A and B are shown apart, each in its own frame.
Chain A
Amino acid sequence: MRRLATTAVAFSLVLVYARSAMAHGFGPTYDIPIPLWLYLYGAAAAVVLAFVPLALYSRKTPDADDAYRYPRFDLFGILWLRALLTSRLLLGGLRALSVFLFFVVVISGLVGLQSGFNIAPTFVWITWWVGLSFFTALVGNLWPLVNPLSVLFDWAEVLARRLGLRDNLELGESYPGALGIWPAVGLYLVFVWFENVFSGSYVPRNIAFFALGYSLITLYAMAYFGKETWLRHGEAFSVFFGLLGRFAPTEVRVKTPGICQGCDACEPGRCVNCYACFRHADPDERELNLRPFAVGLRLPQIALPGVAAFVIVVLAGVTFDGLLETPLWLEIVRLTPVDQTLGVMLLPLLFFGIYLGFVELSRIFGGGGEAGFGQFAAAYAFSLVPIAIAYQMAHYYTYLLIQGQMIFSLISDPLGWGWNLFGTAGFDPRYGIVGASFVWYSQVALIVVGHVIAVYLAHSISLRLLRDPGRAFRSQLPMLVLMVLYTITSLWILAQPIVK
């Protein structure tokens, strides 16, 4: 009973903190809503450009390997680059740095200053969440290498082996395959709630608690089901960065994919973007390729159950963040019993329903086909990833540029205890790096470009599934409507006056 009372007191303290802090994990925005004419222009451009990939596409009947034909350049072919990128010093150093930063965040969150100077919120929300997601989409996926929880798990296994306790820490329970990546969908939804709805998401202590709680779940599940299995199915950020990494202009590849026997992430006979196989492969078998953007998303994927839901939750998550600042949202809250928590759950459901409806329409227009509804729904989901990336960038890049500068002063005084470790504690962020009109044009351009790539990918995927240019063309008409609708919604949100 007494323990319960203590817990209750502690919890209410957290809530008091929460209320005094900023409502949004990112702090205030410096962006002015885009003007009406530019919104209309962006919407018109989205409609016009939607037809370009269709008009340019080859009328030839594609063969099964078409998706794999794209220019590639193996960076490991350059000897000094190979030596650098595979050096134990660099890779081990990055992994150790990542674990170190993880502990810096947790310790700053627990014992550092709670209001004001503290590295945890800026590092987690801006540097890691926004910064790493941009890096993953534009350069490549580092998360499988630096994921601190996976590194800690590896270290614990090495320790256990050295002490002669066990060969590995995995309990070897079999993962129920029907669950697919649904655990990751659920955990990602909790994260979106924490980011956008929970009013204490900027409070360092809450960030530390969430990081610790998530770590416990992840470490336990990695031990229970096996590390690689959980990273592929349940670790929300591995799944998230994995999706963004398919957009990236770099890929990891294993030349002779004999190693992929029994891997449920690889297409038989090919091993692209599978980090587990890459890790176990012989060094001579590995490739690190440069490739065009987004081609990784049109490859035939083994779609685990839940993958479409995951993409939709990502899409709904970024949209929800923008929606919260619009007058429309205030009206919804005023007139209906929907609050933010309900909203963060209802919006993905609404999106999912609309998405599945359009997939079915697309199937009817395309004349059915051998592939079933589930296969279509999973395959087209990958075409939405560029839209999610583009919106995420349009929405957050000014945060990274302006608020992101805070990290320079915070590394000198991570706990807010008045330290000046690197002499940068007094660094003043520079505003006005980008002017408001540049922000407008770049936001609209990003969203429209993401939209065009998505249209191209969806058409490419339909050609692969239907194997007939005419049917593929017809099947894309409903998808065009869906994408134009979503793009116009994104632009509309950017054009709304900002309310608190």
Chain B
Amino acid sequence: MRRAAVVGLVVVLVLGGLFFLLRPDTPDDGPQDRDFDVSIKDGEMSPEEISVNQGDTVTLRVNADEPTELHVHGYDVEQEVEPGREAEIDLEADLTGRFDIEDHEIEKELGVLQVRPR
């Protein structure tokens, strides 16, 4: 019984200590406004991955070479885009995770929005 208590204590101390040693300090810069210029050419989106932090206000300014309808999964935002006219997608990044950005016309995945937790 004493052995179990000693082993348990040592494990808790070692693992607890390691956790605080390894865990990085969270950047405490608060939510930010993040703007991205997104272009869609020949069915490819650039940048392909948009990475933001939770709580950020995200604006995507989209230019496309063909008429499409963009759909951001999870946030369920849809936006029609016409060639030659810049379209804007605004969202509050409150859900964390990886969300596909899809071309609704051809059901093709163009890129991802990655929202990292704070």
A positions within 8 Å CB-CB of B: 20, 28-32, 35, 37-38, 40-41, 44-45, 48-49, 52, 55-56, 115, 428, 431-432, 435-437, 439, 498, 500
Contacts and interface: CB of A to CB of B under 8 A. Distances in A.
A436 B7 contact: no
Contacts of B116: 32, 436
A431 B18 contact: no
A428 B94 CA distance: 18
Given A32-B97, A37-B24, A55 B18 contact: no
Given A32-B116, A37-B23, A56-B4, A435 B11 contact: no
B96 interface: yes
Interface string B66-106: 00000001111000000000000000001111111000000
B25 to A, nearest CB: 11
Contacts of B24: 35, 37
Given A29-B98, A431-B95, A49 B11 contact: yes
B96 A115 contact: no
A32 B96 contact: yes
Interface residues of B, number: 28
B117 A435 contact: yes
Interface of B: 3-4, 7, 11, 14-15, 18-19, 22-24, 73-76, 94-100, 107, 109, 114-117
A299 B14 CA distance: 33
A498 B51 CA distance: 13
A45 B98 CA distance: 27
A432 B96 contact: yes
A27 to B, nearest CB: 9
A59 to B, nearest CB: 10
Given A40-B22, A56-B4, 10 more contacts: A28-B100, A29-B98, A30-B98, A31-B97, A37-B22, A48-B11, A431-B95, A436-B96, A436-B115, A439-B97
Chain A CB within 10 Å — which of B75, B76, B98 has the most?
A: B98
A281 B52 CA distance: 61
A55 B7 contact: yes
A498 B24 CA distance: 22
A52 B11 contact: yes
A405 to B, nearest CB: 12
A498 B3 CA distance: 44
A115 B107 contact: yes
Contact of B3 (A35, A55, A437, A439): A55
A436 B113 CA distance: 13
Given A28-B109, A55-B3, A436-B115, A431 B97 contact: yes
A250 B98 CA distance: 37
B3 A56 contact: yes
Nearest to A33: B98
Contacts of A431: 73-75, 95, 97, 99
Chain A CB within 10 Å — which of B4, B22, B73 has the most?
A: B22
Given A40-B22, A45-B18, A428-B76, A32 B114 contact: yes
A277 to B, nearest CB: 38
B112 to A, nearest CB: 8
A283 B23 CA distance: 56
Contacts of B19: 41
A30 B74 contact: yes
11 contacts: A30-B74, A30-B98, A32-B96, A37-B24, A41-B18, A44-B15, A52-B11, A56-B4, A56-B7, A431-B95, A432-B95
Nearest to B99: A30
Contact of B97 (A20, A30, A38, A55): A30
Contacts of A31: 97-98
A52 B3 CA distance: 11
Contacts of A40: 22
B111 to A, nearest CB: 10
A193 B76 CA distance: 33
A436 B107 CA distance: 26
A118 to B, nearest CB: 14
B117 A437 contact: yes
A356 to B, nearest CB: 32
A116 to B, nearest CB: 9
Contacts of B15: 44-45, 48-49
Nearest to B94: A432
A56 B3 CA distance: 7
B95 A41 contact: no
Nearest to A22: B109
Contacts of B76: 428
Contacts of A436: 96-97, 115-117
Contacts of A439: 97
Nearest to A433: B95
Contacts of A500: 109
Chain A CB within 10 Å — which of B76, B96, B98, B109 has the most?
A: B96
Given A52-B11, A55-B3, A435 B18 contact: no
A326 to B, nearest CB: 15
A437 B100 contact: no
Contacts of A45: 15, 18
A46 to B, nearest CB: 11
A432 B95 CA distance: 5
B35 to A, nearest CB: 22
Contacts of A437: 96, 117
A498 B99 CA distance: 12
A208 B98 CA distance: 31
Nearest to A431: B74
Given A37-B22, A37-B24, A48-B14, A435 B7 contact: no
